């Protein structure tokens, strides 16, 4: 499912124009990105949490040149689904 599919589905279910839904969805995603870039986590009850995780410094290897490099510590965005979300997916998705 793409962002356009999400916009179409929300528009059909609510009767709101696609353009308004698209602006809302993009504003929602932008606010999540802004919060995470400030180091603030976003909690959506019943859905999940968008959190910032710290990755420790580590040594990486360039196999073709046979050298090692130090990858500095850095932060990455992460999503942790809520228990209700996880259980719904487990119960309803059939493996093909």
Phi, psi of 42 (to 5 degrees): -120, 125
The pTM of the full predicted model, rounded to 2 decimals, is 0.77
Span 36-49, pLDDT tens digits: 999 999 999 999 99
For the residues 4-12, what does the mean pLDDT come to? 96
- Interacting residues of 48 by C-beta distance below 8 A, sequence separation 6+: 79, 80, 81, 82, 85
Split at pLDDT 50, 70, 90, the class of 96 is low
- Are 72 and 57 in contact, with CB atoms under 8 Å apart? yes
The domain limits of the chain are 1-40, 41-96
Residue 61's Cα: distance from chain center in Å?
28
Q: What is the CATH number of domain 41-96?
A: 4.10.520.10
């Amino acid at each position: 499912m793409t962002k356009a599919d999400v916009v179409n589905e929300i528009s059909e279910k609510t009767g709101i124009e696609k353009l308004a839904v698209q602006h809302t969805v993009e504003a929602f995603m932008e606010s999540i990105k802004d919060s995470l870039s400030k180091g603030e986590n976003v909690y959506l009850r019943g859905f999940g949490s968008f959190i910032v995780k710290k990755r420790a410094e580590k040594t990486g290897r360039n196999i073709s040149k046979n050298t090692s490099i130090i990858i500095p510590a850095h932060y990455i965005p992460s999503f942790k689904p809520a228990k209700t979300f996880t259980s719904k997916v487990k119960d309803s998705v059939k493996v093909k």
